[in-house]
Structure 1
Amino acid sequence: MKTKQSTTGLWLAIGLLVSILHYSCQSKVKEATKNVQNEYKDVVEAKKEGESQEEIQEERKELNKARQEYVAVWEEERNKMKDEINKGLQQIDQSIARLQQRMQQADVNAQDKYRQSISELRKERTQLESRTKDVMAATQANWSNTKRRIRSAIDASRNRINRLVADAK
């Protein structure tokens, strides 16, 4: 019972941390996107108003700087999601190790239940690990959809893992 509570508490803490990071990154990405849009408008406006080539060039430099900042923010968000997945993998590994220890002390009937749960946890681990590849393969253009899909997969995996660990007891 104590392990179930600590596992649940751990997932709740991670969920809270992820929510905070998600919100923080989301507002940073939105801000960076707006900054690029505003700088682009400044370039267009400078051209319309017939400003000098030097002034237009200065506006373009600001636009390029805003684009670079956007890329940095996007990469930071992507790396945070990758780190989140890696933490989840570590937690699965820890759960498997705990279940293997309990299995050694359990009677024959319970050992089968532990083996099944461990096997299912390993499948979850493989699926979660593949999400890292999805994150790293994502482009800026498809990031929003990829992030949403991965977030959904992580949440579903978390629920299955919690059930598997609870069922093994």
Structure 2
Amino acid sequence: MKLHHLPLPSRRHLWLGALFPLTLALGGCASNMNDLTQKVDQILARPGGKIEPIPEMKPLPKYSYVETSARTPFEPPVTQKANHGNGISPDMNRPKEPLEMYPLDALSMKGIIVRGGTTYALVRDGDGVIHEIQVGNYMGLNYGKVVSITSDKITLEEIVPDGQGGWRKQTAIVQQKSNK
């Protein structure tokens, strides 16, 4: 059996083989653009829209401030001043518990367990991990201390900023959601 060797293509043949498809592709780019030109001309021939005038601004009434012995308008009323002496503040030196890394809406109660007379709530965190907690544990971002656990809810006492430099307590509830 005799093998026939095909001649190797020359550089000229390689260049022609590469340029031919490129020439066809570029030729397609230079096709008739009359449709596009007509569409642009139609859009430019449309009448321009009407711009609404800027509404006239009415000047505000002028007031002059005369200093008196009463409080200035730049201080909050006495009833709104911060109550720093109410004794409410979170314990900043207490180590954080795992469920304090999640907002309450990312936590869900899944049930309870009673062991040795102590009731534990099963809480799923935002990462899907189940935790056992009891009264006295903390959860949520607002220093929420668990004050009671029932079969369908966990009641917390949170310490939140009062907006005036102090703190106040508020009650929050994490309820068990039905498994529908």
TM-score (norm 2): 0.22
* Structure with greater helix share of residues: 1
Please, what TM-score do these two structures have when normalized by structure 1? Answer: 0.23
Q: Larger relative contact order (C-alpha < 8 A, sep ≥ 6)?
A: 1
